[in-house]
Structure 1
Amino acid sequence: MIALAVLVVGLLEVWVPFVSREGDGNLWLSSAQVVIVAAAMVVRRTRPLIAAGVAFILFSGLHIAGVTYLLFYGQFVPMVLTTFAVARHGKGREPYLGAALIIGTMLVGDLLVPELQVPDEIVFHWSVLFGAYALGTWQRVMANQAALARQQAIDAQVQAAARTAQAILEERTRMARELHDVVAHAMSVIVVQAGAAQLVSDDEDEVRRSLETIRLTGAEALGEMRRFVTMLRDQDETALRVPQPGLAAVTQLVDDARDSGLPVTLAVHGTPRGLPAGIDLAASRLVQEALTNVRRHATGAAAVEVTVDHAEDGLHLGVRDDGISVAGTTGSDHGLIGMRERVELYGGSLRAGPADPRGFLGEAVLPVERS
Structure 2
Amino acid sequence: MDEQRARGPGGPPTSRGGGPWRQGPPRWNHGPRDGTARGLPWPTTLALTAFVQIGSGFAAHGQQDRTALTPLARVLLLLATAVLLFRHRHPAAVVSATTGLTLVYLGAGFPYGPVLVAVAVACFAAVVAGHRRAAWGAVAGLWAGHLLLSHWLYRRLPPGDDGARPWSGELVVAVWVVAIVAVSELGRVRREQRAKERAERARAAERRADEERLRMARELHDVLAHSISVINVQAGVGLALLDSDPEQARTALTTIKAASKEALGEVRQVLDTLRAPGEAPRAPAPGLDRLPELVEQAGGAGLTVDVTTEGTRAKLPPGVDLAAFRVVQEALTNVVRHSGSRHARVLVRHAGSALTLRIDDDGPATGAEAGGSGNGLAGMRERAAALGGTIEAGPRPFGGFRVTAVLPLPSGRDAKGRTATGEDQ
TM exceeds 0.5?
A: yes
> What is the aligned partner in structure 2 of residue 90 from structure 1?
129
TM-score by length of 2: 0.51
> What is the aligned partner in structure 1 of residue 98 from structure 2?
55
> What is the aligned partner in structure 2 of residue 204 from structure 1?
none
Q: Report the Cα distance in structure 1 between the residues aligned to 2:197 and 2:93, rounded to whole angstroms.
A: 30
Q: Report the Cα distance in structure 2 between the residues aligned to 1:358 and 1:24, rounded to whole angstroms.
A: 77
What is the identity, as a one-letter code, of the residue corresponding to 1:90? A
> What is the aligned partner in structure 1 of residue 225 from structure 2?
177
> What is the aligned partner in structure 2 of residue 78 from structure 1?
118
> What is the aligned partner in structure 1 of residue 410 from structure 2?
354
Equivalent residues of 1:44, 1:51 under 8 A apart: yes
Residues 259-300 of structure 1: CA distance to partner in whole angstroms, max 9, x if unpaired?
xxxxxx35689xxxxxxxxxxx85833899xxxxxxxxxxxx
Residues 50 and 249 of structure 1: CA distance in aligned 2, closer, same or farther (over 3 Å): farther
Of the three residues 158, 164, 169, the one matched with 1:121 is 169
In the alignment, structure 1 residue 106 sits paired with structure 2 residue 143: yes
Residues 267 and 362 of structure 1: CA distance in aligned 2, closer, same or farther (over 3 Å): farther
> What is the aligned partner in structure 2 of residue 30 from structure 1?
73
Structure 1 residue 27: deviation in Å?
0.8
Structure 1 residue 357: deviation in Å?
8.9
> What is the aligned partner in structure 2 of residue 322 from structure 1?
353
> What is the aligned partner in structure 2 of residue 160 from structure 1?
208
> What is the aligned partner in structure 2 of residue 327 from structure 1?
none
1:103 partner SS: helix
Equivalent residues of 2:237, 2:249 under 8 A apart: no
> What is the aligned partner in structure 2 of residue 248 from structure 1?
305
Structure 1 residue 138: deviation in Å?
1.5
Equivalent residues of 2:231, 2:255 under 8 A apart: no
What is the identity, as a one-letter code, of the residue corresponding to 2:149? L
Structure 1 residue 39: deviation in Å?
0.5
Equivalent residues of 1:190, 1:218 under 8 A apart: no
Residues 123-142 of structure 1: CA distance to partner in whole angstroms, max 9, x if unpaired?
21221221121111012112
1:42 partner SS: helix
Q: Residues 323-342 of structure 1: matches in 2 within 5 Å?
A: 334-335=382-383
Of the three residues 134, 138, 143, the one matched with 2:182 is 134
What is the identity, as a one-letter code, of the residue corresponding to 1:284? V
Q: Residues 286-325 of structure 1: matches in 2 within 5 Å?
A: 306=348, 321-322=352-353
> What is the aligned partner in structure 1 of residue 403 from structure 2?
none
Structure 1 residue 189: deviation in Å?
4.2
Q: Report the Cα distance in structure 1 between the residues aligned to 2:100 and 2:167, rounded to whole angstroms.
A: 23
1:8 partner SS: helix
> What is the aligned partner in structure 2 of residue 216 from structure 1?
254
1:248 partner SS: strand
Structure 1 residue 30: deviation in Å?
0.6
Structure 1 residue 181: deviation in Å?
2.0
What is the identity, as a one-letter code, of the residue corresponding to 1:182? V
Of the three residues 191, 199, 221, the one matched with 1:143 is 191
Of the three residues 21, 39, 46, the one matched with 1:4 is 46
Q: Report the Cα distance in structure 2 between the residues aligned to 1:21 and 1:3, rounded to whole angstroms.
A: 29
2:86 partner SS: coil
2:66 partner SS: coil
Residues 44 and 219 of structure 1: CA distance in aligned 2, closer, same or farther (over 3 Å): closer
**Larger RCO, structures 1/2 (Cα 8 Å, 6+ apart):** 1
Q: Report the Cα distance in structure 1 between the residues aligned to 2:384 and 2:63, rounded to whole angstroms.
A: 73
Equivalent residues of 1:15, 1:27 under 8 A apart: no
> What is the aligned partner in structure 2 of residue 284 from structure 1?
328
> What is the aligned partner in structure 1 of residue 87 from structure 2?
44
TM-score by length of 1: 0.57
In the alignment, structure 1 residue 226 sits paired with structure 2 residue 274: no
The count of corresponding residues between Structure 1 and Structure 2 is 271
Equivalent residues of 1:45, 1:85 under 8 A apart: yes
5+ residue gaps, structure 2: 1-42, 155-162, 272-297, 315-324, 333-346, 355-378, 388-407, 421-425
Residues 188-219 of structure 1: CA distance to partner in whole angstroms, max 9, x if unpaired?
44346644546xxxxxxxx6xx5863563343
Q: Report the Cα distance in structure 2 between the residues aligned to 1:363 and 1:112, rounded to whole angstroms.
A: 73
5+ residue gaps, structure 1: 199-206, 233-241, 255-264, 270-280, 289-304, 308-318, 324-330, 340-351, 365-371
What is the identity, as a one-letter code, of the residue corresponding to 1:69? F
Q: CA RMSD in A?
A: 4.7
After TM superposition, the runs of 4+ consecutive aligned structure 1 residues lying more than 6 A away are 228-232, 242-247, 336-339, 357-364
